[in-house]
Amino acid sequence: MEHSNLLGTKPNCCPRCRVSIDKLGDLIDPSELVPRTSVLLKDKWNEYDAIPNSNNRESRDRQIKLQKCFSDNNAHPTPNVFWDIPFVDLYELHQPDNLHVIHLGIFKHLMEWIEGFLHSYQRPTESDLVWQTIPPYPGFSHPSKPYRQITQLQGKDMRNIGKIIYPALTAALWKPQPRHRHIFHRAIARVRAMACFGLMAQNRAHDQATIKYLSLYLEEFHGYENIFQPFRTTKRTKGLADDRKPQLQKELLE
């Protein structure tokens, strides 16, 4: 929300490009992304601000047209003080960090999906046993209780979870029923991809090799998109999950 106030954009939209909100989280080719530019919005604001305050139809039509332009860019029709500061790219000011994007963002959402997945397949008890038996080691603090019994998670907790989320899920899904084996393997593969992405993203510096690995992990993660879709909580994903439910039920019976 802080970067939305700073940039004058709508909540839950990308601060760097003009991708539509309903496509956030999708795997998109970077070459297809259109970056935000201060020049466009500043020109549109100046045009919007110059419209006389009158009730004639022409003025209202121009206002509606420019408001739609701002809406298409997921922005508000308001001026921004950073537009007039030389050598400052407003949309480069927001810099994501591992704590909020990876640990309190991706891993936290992923754990919520996993909890729903485990309950759906009657595996919460196995998961609790795994969490209670994970031994401590350097750089990792042993969880004092199962994940679902933790009432308040901090950055340190999610950082530790990111280190064990893949092996913990693998152990919790041990010895699946034959009809569940395929979907369990797909769930484990997706979690493995995101765990690898989160660990690789924490490198202090990146080169072409690590960026290639990050891209590969994202592609693998999105390759198993439908596994956790029924357990995602947004209105969009609930609709997609309802549409996919007959197919998922068919896959479970195969």
pLDDT tens digits for range 113-132: 888 899 888 888 888 888 88
The whole-number pLDDT of residue 60 equals 86
pLDDT tens digits for range 167-192: 999 999 988 888 888 889 999 999 99
C-alpha dihedral sign at 122, 247, 195, 115? negative
- Give the orientation angle of helix 235-253 with respect to helix 181-201, to 10 degrees: 140
pLDDT tens digits for range 41-69: 888 889 888 888 777 888 888 888 888 88
pLDDT at residue 153 greater than cutoff 80: no
The whole-number pLDDT of residue 74 equals 86
pLDDT tens digits for range 16-44: 888 888 888 788 888 888 888 888 888 88
pLDDT at residue 217 greater than cutoff 90: yes
- What is the C-alpha separation between 213 and 201, in angstroms, rounded? 10
The whole-number pLDDT of residue 211 equals 92
The whole-number pLDDT of residue 188 equals 93
Q: Yes or no: say if 17 and 7 are a contact pair by the CB < 8 Å rule.
A: no
Range scoring the smallest mean pLDDT among 63-67, 93-97, 123-127, 197-201: 93-97
- What is the C-alpha separation between 106 and 104, in angstroms, rounded? 7
What's the whole-number average pLDDT of the chain? 83
